[in-house]
């Protein structure tokens, strides 16, 4: 049984002119990386809301700092080790002649963020520079694959009451267009909380009940006094990229990243916790000088992020680890629920 939101054409971040995306998924264990490339450069911003982030090159995105454009953003599994994937992207972009002109050559600027997926399989297998390079080689303007791919390969959601009750997370993308301008989002969802329907607030994937057959609804469980499982700090994170073809300043790009977190709040509950490193980047390629204004763009960004977060779990596939841990996906519970219905 496929969810209606998955059947609808939700678009992709690659609908934004000047943006390409590539994945590398490691076959040795569930981990990988995803790169979002703007070869001609893009004005960038970032907003970090989680209390346990793992990032690279975020300081240069501050509106008051010198650099105006970056050339890619890397999202990776592997926790802090995964930040090395950005080095591979830097090498690939340099080979393509892409980067900031520093007189003696071109320096590619590649901010990055990582999520924690080390519980699944051999933690010594994690994205490195070779993985980042391979993701760049695979990049295209086609709609990127979703679910258990790239940075979403080892993503898990609903860990508030222990991994044994969690579900498979993943990677999703969506886009929104208004007045000829497009805003797209790409999200790798590894949240400690549930992923919920943005309109109804009902959980789609997350912590399951003791028998594993239904969703527990983490928000209601916590408010009813059910104690959370002890959480390892930094072991959960939702990271992503917002892209637009509107022409923005660095201040505006940073504000669009801020607005994108509203989309996370609509689709993940709880979100921005002490155990999450939630981080969103913005890339503005500037193809369209005229746009409908920041109020509309911010609304578009939040909507694209919310839709992409939902798609991350709706497109995910179930996974059983070598240690015997079963992580079902949304489709598994939906099928079970349909079988239990009368008639």
- Rounded (5°) CA angle 293-246-271: 75
DSSP H helix total and E strand total for the chain: 7, 18
Does residue 191 contact residue 271 with C-beta atoms inside 8 Å? yes
Residue 333 CB partners (closer than 8 Å, separation 6+): 167, 205, 208, 213, 214, 215
- Rounded (5°) CA angle 324-329-332: 100
Taken in order of first residue, the domains within the chain and their CATH numbers are 4-340 (3.60.70.12)
Does residue 44 contact residue 283 with C-beta atoms inside 8 Å? yes
Does residue 189 contact residue 168 with C-beta atoms inside 8 Å? no
Q: What is the pLDDT of residues 145-187, one digit of tens each?
A: 999 999 999 999 999 999 999 999 999 999 999 999 999 999 9
- Nearest to 172, CA basis, from 159, 158, 160, 190: 190
Work out the percent of the chain whose per-residue pLDDT is above 90: 86
Does residue 71 contact residue 112 with C-beta atoms inside 8 Å? no
Question: What pLDDT shows up at residue 1?
Answer: 41
Q: What is the pLDDT of residues 96-108, one digit of tens each?
A: 999 999 999 999 9
- Rounded (5°) CA angle 124-188-191: 85
Q: Which helix (H) or strand (E) holds 174?
A: strand 170-178
Q: Which helix (H) or strand (E) holds 68?
A: none
Q: What is the pLDDT of residues 7-66, one digit of tens each?
A: 567 999 999 999 999 999 999 999 999 999 999 999 999 999 988 899 999 999 999 999
Q: Which residue has the higher pLDDT, 324 or 268?
A: 268
The residue to which tokens 């609903």 are assigned: 158
For residues 3 and 178, what is the distance between their CA atoms, to the nearest angstrom?
25
């Amino acid at each position: 049984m496929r969810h209606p939101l998955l059947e609808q054409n939700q678009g992709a971040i690659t609908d934004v002119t000047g943006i390409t995306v590539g994945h590398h998924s490691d076959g040795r264990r569930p981990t990988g990386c995803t790169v979002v490339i703007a070869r001609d450069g893009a004005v960038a911003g970032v907003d970090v809301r989680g209390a346990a982030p793992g990032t690279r090159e975020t300081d240069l995105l501050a509106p008051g700092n010198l650099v105006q454009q970056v050339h890619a953003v890397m999202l990776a599994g592997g926790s802090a080790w995964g930040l090395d994937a950005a080095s591979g992207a830097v090498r690939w972009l340099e080979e393509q002649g892409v980067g900031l002109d520093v007189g003696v050559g071109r320096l590619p600027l590649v901010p990055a963020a990582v999520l924690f997926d080390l519980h699944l399989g051999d933690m010594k297998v994690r994205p490195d520079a070779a993985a980042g390079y391979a993701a760049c080689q695979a990049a295209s303007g086609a709609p990127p694959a979703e679910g258990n791919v790239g940075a979403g390969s080892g993503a898990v959601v609903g860990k508030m009451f222990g991994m044994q009750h969690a579900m498979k997370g993943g990677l999703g993308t969506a886009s929104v267009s208004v007045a000829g301008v497009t805003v797209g989002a790409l999200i790798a969802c590894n949240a400690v909380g549930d992923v919920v329907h943005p309109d109804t607030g009902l959980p789609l994937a997350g912590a399951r009940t003791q028998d594993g057959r239904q969703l527990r609804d983490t928000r209601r469980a916590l408010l009813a006094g059910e104690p959370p499982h002890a959480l390892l700090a930094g072991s959960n994170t939702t990271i992503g990229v917002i892209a637009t073809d509107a022409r923005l300043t660095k201040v505006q790009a940073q504000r669009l990243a801020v607005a994108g977190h509203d989309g996370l709040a609509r689709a993940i509950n709880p979100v921005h916790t002490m155990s999450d490193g939630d981080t969103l980047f913005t890339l503005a390629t500037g193809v369209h000088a005229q746009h409908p204004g920041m109020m509309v763009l911010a609304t578009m960004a939040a909507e694209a992020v919310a839709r992409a977060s939902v798609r991350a779990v709706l497109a995910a596939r179930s996974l059983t680890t070598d240690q015997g841990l079963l992580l079902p996906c949304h489709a598994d519970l939906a099928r079970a629920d349909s079988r239990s219905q009368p008639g």
